[in-house]
């Protein structure tokens, strides 16, 4: 996916939470500006998120039903779940990360009950069946989210599809602070972390195909802040999340998703004009595959099933694995352009290289 116009976020959700005003902690005007900057970044052409898929929670007083709202917002997501927080990060009595809200107290015994515990975010992400899960934490002590007790996941988080992955980018290590712009010469202050992330996205940084992946963005933000002598972010990228295209270069032109006409005539050994999704033909071609598989209503789910079958067979029947992955590669070309289609295509390519 190399053009913002092709990016489909209809099955994705981004949740941005920011707290710039506090009853017991110092107010941070840079947080408000950074929250709105992050929203602006996502809505710009390079990222392509539609406004209706980006929810913003600003200066929430108390957790209330916020954990439940996170679960609801991410529950139906199938492509990308993105969570961003900017504000005070505070460890509780047991060194668990708490995300500061307006009414968060300095009393350590009550921090978890007056803040948004990171465990609530982790819970919402574990429940979500999104294929890509991204967390960006711009706060002090953000690295606590990467400690074993706070990591995103168990294997259950990734069991739904081989194309799933998770990434966490934390503006600071577990016991360090995150910085923001301040001083009489700063008219509109931002946090250094979010400001640098936005600058990289806006700069047009991309690979030869016009893509800025999560992994490339994470590495660039980390390197740039380190060179500037600012707190160095920490991060963890698991499975396929690093390949997710966070932003594109709008003018880039990528390869066509269509199968070349000269290949259509012989693809899968069928004559030209035969529907590659024809159920009877698929049943005949793969008699060992349960017939019920071909009846799935969602074509993307069918491709996912083929990928899993191909992966399962690669150690026991490599010829069958190659045939299944070859058909999956062909079928994925016929999916509408979307984040999910790109992830599935990448997974087919990766497995096909392993099978040989």
CB < 8 Å & 24+ apart, contacts of 274-282: 276/327, 276/330, 276/331, 276/334, 277/331, 277/334, 282/327
pLDDT tens per residue, range 67-89: 999 999 999 899 999 999 999 99
pLDDT tens per residue, range 211-250: 899 999 998 999 999 999 999 999 888 867 888 999 987 6
**How far from 45 is each of 12, 27, 210, 249, CA to CA, in Å?**
17, 32, 13, 9
pLDDT tens per residue, range 179-213: 988 877 777 889 999 999 999 998 877 776 788 99
Look up tokens 């107290």; give the residue.
105
pLDDT tens per residue, range 119-160: 999 999 999 989 999 999 999 999 999 875 434 443 433 333
| CA nearest neighbour of 234 among 322, 323, 161, 140 | 140
Q: How confident is the model at residue 262 (pLDDT cuts 50, 70, 90)?
A: very low
> Rounded distance, CA 158 to CA 166, Å?
9
By the 8 A CB rule, do 81 and 130 touch?
yes
DSSP 180: B
The answer, as to whether pTM is greater than 0.75, is: no
Q: How confident is the model at residue 257 (pLDDT cuts 50, 70, 90)?
A: very low
By the 8 A CB rule, do 16 and 57 touch?
yes
By the 8 A CB rule, do 79 and 161 touch?
no
By the 8 A CB rule, do 307 and 347 touch?
yes
pLDDT of 338: 63
């Amino acid at each position: 996916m190399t053009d913002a116009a092709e990016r489909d976020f209809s099955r994705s959700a981004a949740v941005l939470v920011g707290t710039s005003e506090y009853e017991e902690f110092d107010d941070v005007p840079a947080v408000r500006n950074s929250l709105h900057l992050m929203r602006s970044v996502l809505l710009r052409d390079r990222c392509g998120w539609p406004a209706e898929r980006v929810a913003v929670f600003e200066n929430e007083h108390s957790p209330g039903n916020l954990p439940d709202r996170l679960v609801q917002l991410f529950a139906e997501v199938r492509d990308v779940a993105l969570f961003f927080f900017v504000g005070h990060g505070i460890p509780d009595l047991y060194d668990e990360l708490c995300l500061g809200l307006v009414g968060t107290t300095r009393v350590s015994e009550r921090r978890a009950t007056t803040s948004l515990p990171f465990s609530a975010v982790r819970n919402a992400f574990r429940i979500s069946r999104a294929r890509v899960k991204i967390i960006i934490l711009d706060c002090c002590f953000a690295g606590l989210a990467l400690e074993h007790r706070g990591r995103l996941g168990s294997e259950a988080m990734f069991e739904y599809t081989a194309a799933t992955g998770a990434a966490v980018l934390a503006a600071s290590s577990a016991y360090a602070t995150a910085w923001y712009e301040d001083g009489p010469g700063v008219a509109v202050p931002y946090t250094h972390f979010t400001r640098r992330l936005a600058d990289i996205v806006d700069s047009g940084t991309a690979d030869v195909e016009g893509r800025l992946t999560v992994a490339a963005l994470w590495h660039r933000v980390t390197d740039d802040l380190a060179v500037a002598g600012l707190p160095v972010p920490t991060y963890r990228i698991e499975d396929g999340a690093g390949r997710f295209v966070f932003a594109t270069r709008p003018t880039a032109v990528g390869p066509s998703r269509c199968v070349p006409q000269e290949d259509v005539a012989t693809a899968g050994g069928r004559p030209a004009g035969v529907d590659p999704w024809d159920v009877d033909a698929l049943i005949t071609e793969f008699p060992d595959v349960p017939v019920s598989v071909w009846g799935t209503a969602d074509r993307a789910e069918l491709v996912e099933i083929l990928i899993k079958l191909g992966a399962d067979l690669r150690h026991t029947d490599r010829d069958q694995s190659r045939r299944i992955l070859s058909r999956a590669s062909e079928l994925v070309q016929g999916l509408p352009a979307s984040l999910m289609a790109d992830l599935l295509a990448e997974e087919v390519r990766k497995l096909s290289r392993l099978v040989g």
